Structure 1
């Protein structure tokens, strides 16, 4: 869904394992790594979008994960002009995201990237907490840094409850 200001509304997803590493996924047939994210459709809740995306992309359901935290505010970034599709009916000029921190409580063998017809990712890796910033395209680095800073206290303190941060 694109709001009246041209922002695509979505959820960002940070999954950690029992070794305090973050799940990065590689975009299908590209040399591009990112954290999972999901657009939010009209009338869909953030949680519905989050778990629908995780089910479609990684084959995870709510029984595989515990939600630990959520950013309170929407984090925003603008797209460079060369990424904007000006001829579309609803022009998306940027994204605004609410981010969730989740802990994997099932076995990592449950990660399946190829179960649906539209494969979005073709590889995954567990990485150190700040590594996702290094892998991001330049215009997304500030939002990743802001998000990771906002979730730091929960990540490093291992609190197991939903916190509203940022």
Structure 2
């Protein structure tokens, strides 16, 4: 479903944990990492499409998240012609997206990259909110920058006391072990549930290779 200008309606999802880190998914069988996103079907609202994509791509249900904010208007990016399927060239230009900022209120274990028969990701990790844009495929960088910038004003305030309660630590432990948090990897979790890869290995796999864009 394309608009008159050749853009496909789409939703993008920025999912936060309680530390305001963002979910970063590795596209299946590639070294490309990105935020969840997907097309809006005929008759769907952007919010309905967001919940559907959230479940299809990472297995979460509406009760696992809360909506914090969304972008006011469509954010557009054009796809270079060599990424577009031949039969779509000439009328498909790219994506126009509504971006949602969500907070995970469930647990990491609620995520399931194999929720459908056609998984999009085969690994995931939490990353700092301002993901370095050089790891994003070039033609999407401006949209990522615009979405992150517009939604940053709505980031929840982090309560350090709540963070200790979630981790099972008492606040004074931070003084006793000032590097405790640094030793805890942001990590990645594969769909098979294997141990997280070292952060250095993940950084080495951070997207440099382009991904094919489906119209």
Q: What TM-score do you get using the length of structure 2 for normalisation? A: 0.70
Count how many residue pairs are aligned between Structure 1 and Structure 2. 158
Query: Within 5 Å, which residues of 2 pair with 1:49-68?
Result: 49-68=49-68
Compared with structure 1, are the counterparts of its residues 114 and 90 closer, same or farther at alpha carbon in structure 2 (3 Å cutoff)?
A: farther
Does the 8 Å CA contact 1:10/1:39 hold for their aligned counterparts?
A: yes
Match of residue 75 from structure 2: 75
Hey, what's the Cα distance between the residues in 1 that align with 2:30 and 2:155? Answer: 29
1:87 counterpart SS class = helix
Tell me if structure 2 keeps the 8 A contact 1:22–1:128: yes
What is the alpha-carbon distance in structure 2 between the residues aligned to residue 17 and residue 74 of structure 1?
25
Structure richer in strand, relative to its length? 1
Whichever of the two has the greater Rg, that structure is 2
Alignment partners' CA distance in 2, 1:107 and 1:132: 26
Greater RCO, CA 8 A, separation 6+: 1
Equivalence for 1:164: none
| CA contact 1:132–1:144 (8 Å) conserved in 2 | no
Q: Give the Cα separation in 2 of the matches to 1:46 and 1:132.
A: 27
Q: CA deviation at 1:86?
A: 3.9
Q: TM-score, normalised by structure 1?
A: 0.89
**Unpaired runs of 5+ in structure 1?**
159-166
State the partner residue of 2:134.
Answer: 134
Shift of 1:46: 0.7
How large is the Cα RMSD of the aligned pairs? 1.6
5+ long unaligned stretches in structure 2: 159-215
Runs of 4+ residues deviating >3 angstroms: 88-91
> Where does 1:115-130 land on structure 2 (aligned, <5 Å)?
115-130=115-130
> Contact between 2:81 and 2:89, CA under 8 Å: does it hold in 1?
no
Number of the residue aligned with 2:107: 107
